[in-house]
């Protein structure tokens, strides 16, 4: 799966960005490459936190867990 970075120049000269498909993933960087790396880190963190929250929500429930792959 690919994601889209929305990038703009901030007031302080840094680049700021957001992952279009996951708006909670925000980051900044001095270069586009640094920003993209930081956005990927932010994306991973958002997904990890969401997973942890969901696991806690279903911790005491009987569930079936299946893998999904988006292509």
31-70 tens-digit pLDDT: 999 999 999 999 999 999 999 999 999 999 999 999 999 8
Residue 1 binned pLDDT confidence (cut-offs 50, 70, 90): confident
Q: In the chain, what's the furthest Cα-to-Cα distance?
A: 51
Q: Are 27 and 42 in contact (CB under 8 A)?
A: yes
Burial (0-12, 13-18, 19+ Cβ within 10 Å), 48? exposed
13 within 8 A of 28, measured Cβ to Cβ: no
Question: What percent helix, strand, coil does the chain show, rounded to 5?
Answer: 35, 25, 40
Q: What is the pTM of this model?
A: 0.88
């Amino acid at each position: 799966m690919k994601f889209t970075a929305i990038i703009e120049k901030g007031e302080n000269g840094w680049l700021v960005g957001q992952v279009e498909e996951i708006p909670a993933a925000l980051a900044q960087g001095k270069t586009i490459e640094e920003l993209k790396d930081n956005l990927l880190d932010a994306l991973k963190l958002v997904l990890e936190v969401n997973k942890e929250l969901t696991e806690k929500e279903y911790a005491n429930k009987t569930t079936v867990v299946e893998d999904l792959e988006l292509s």
